[in-house]
Amino acid sequence: MEEYAYLTSILASIFYLATSARLLRLHRRTRERPECLLGLYFACSGLYYLAYNVPSLLGFDGWPPSIGLAVEWVYNLGVLPYLLFIRLVFRPNDVWAVGLVAFASGCLLVAGVALTAGGHVDYSLDNPWFLTQWLGYTIPCAWIGCEAVLDWRSSGKRARLGLVQPLVVNRYLLLALFGASQFLACLSDLLFAHDISNSEAVSLVTNVLLGGTEAASVVLLWLAFFPPDFYAGWIARRAHSPVAAE
């Protein structure tokens, strides 16, 4: 079961890197910031999950502490553009959003410095810097889920007036589910820390949560960013059906 969770994470990381490549290629063409920020986030996430899971899957003891810390920094720094993306897209005029970005960024940077000063990565619920880091990367997962739900609801009204395409409305829903899935993954990080603090063995529940949320995230991102023809057609037909039009 543990190998299954690691394998799912590695597949997810490859998919994150593919999504990142697509978004950064789009940025090269449009020069717009949202695709650049989201592309950077997925690039860092992909690299992090890949680097984090390869040792476990291949059965060696893990990276030396210095590389482990570098990998943590890649992820911590990668979350910063994600926070900026959420603010830029959903809350460009709200002062509180700047405060939330600053708070979460502060958590990640302070935790990164503290972990570096400690000399090694310590996933433990007794380690306040792990919890600080956890807070820093959990905030954007919950935040984007909430924002996407709000926009999904209002975009339904816009769609009825023909102001937005049904596929874009559906994309908000997929993003909301992606946020929820990532939030669950963050919660499973706490279970993971609890497991390895007590017994060094990762429980079945934790493995199912870790693997399941990553698998769900991949499917949601695939439908959102690489919508296949059958899916786009289904969404369009559903939007124009008599039941949906009521």
Partner 1 sequence: MATTLFDIAAERLEESTDMDRLAARGTLRLALKEAGLDTQNFSLAQLRTVFERLMPKELEARGVPHGVAICSAVMNGVASIASTADLSTAESPDEIFKRLGGR
- Rounded to a whole number of angstroms, the minimum distance from the CB of residue 240 to partner 1 is 18
Nearer to partner 1, 154 or 198 (CB): 154
Chain CA centroid to CA 57, Å: 22
- Rounded to a whole number of angstroms, the minimum distance from the CB of residue 59 to partner 1 is 38
- Rounded to a whole number of angstroms, the minimum distance from the CB of residue 75 to partner 1 is 22
**Cα separation, 158 vs 129, whole angstroms:** 44
- Rounded to a whole number of angstroms, the minimum distance from the CB of residue 245 to partner 1 is 15
Nearer to partner 1, 151 or 195 (CB): 151
Tokens of 101: 């970005």
- Rounded to a whole number of angstroms, the minimum distance from the CB of residue 30 to partner 1 is 7
Nearer to partner 1, 153 or 238 (CB): 153
Q: What is the DSSP letter of 121?
A: -
Chain CA centroid to CA 204, Å: 22
- Rounded to a whole number of angstroms, the minimum distance from the CB of residue 161 to partner 1 is 5
107-110 contact pairs (CB < 8 A, 24+): 107/132, 107/133, 107/135, 107/136, 107/139, 108/76, 108/77, 108/79, 108/80, 108/133, 108/136, 108/137, 109/76
Nearer to partner 1, 20 or 76 (CB): 20
201-209 contact pairs (CB < 8 A, 24+): 202/2, 202/5, 204/1, 207/1, 207/2, 207/4, 207/5, 208/1, 208/5, 209/184, 209/185
**Contacting residues toward partner 1, per CB under 8 A:** 23, 26, 30, 32, 34-35, 38, 89-90, 92-93, 151, 153-158, 161-165, 167-168, 171-172, 175, 224-225, 227, 232
Nearer to partner 1, 135 or 167 (CB): 167
Nearer to partner 1, 112 or 166 (CB): 166
